[in-house]
Amino acid sequence: MSTVANCPTCGGISKTKETNDETIYEAIQNNELLKKVGQMKKAMQKFKEKAEALEIELNKLKDK
């Protein structure tokens, strides 16, 4: 997944790429931005599920 940041030149939302100590900003269209948000939501949901499962397992180990 690429990094998303605000462009210092135009202030728009853009993808960033770093090559040879140089940061390149590429503008993102609204549909791309929505896709990125969807990807982030899915990733956060997976992380949340894993954390909850580990918490349950930890509680079971504490009870023993």
Res 34: pLDDT? 78
Using CB atoms within 10 A of its CB, is residue 14 exposed (0-12), middle (13-18) or buried (19+)?
A: buried
pTM equals 0.51
> pLDDT category, 28, cuts 50, 70, 90?
confident
Kindly report the length of the chain: 64
| CB of 26 closer than 8 Å to CB of 17 | yes
State yes or no: pLDDT of 33 exceeds 80.
Answer: no
* Average pLDDT estimate for 14-23: 84
Q: Where are the domains of the chain?
A: 3-63
The DSSP annotation for the chain comes to: --EEEE-TTT--EEEEEEETTEEEEEE--HHHHHHHHHHHHHHHHHHHHHHHHHHHHHHHHHH-
- Considering the chain, what percentage of its residues have pLDDT values greater than 90? 36
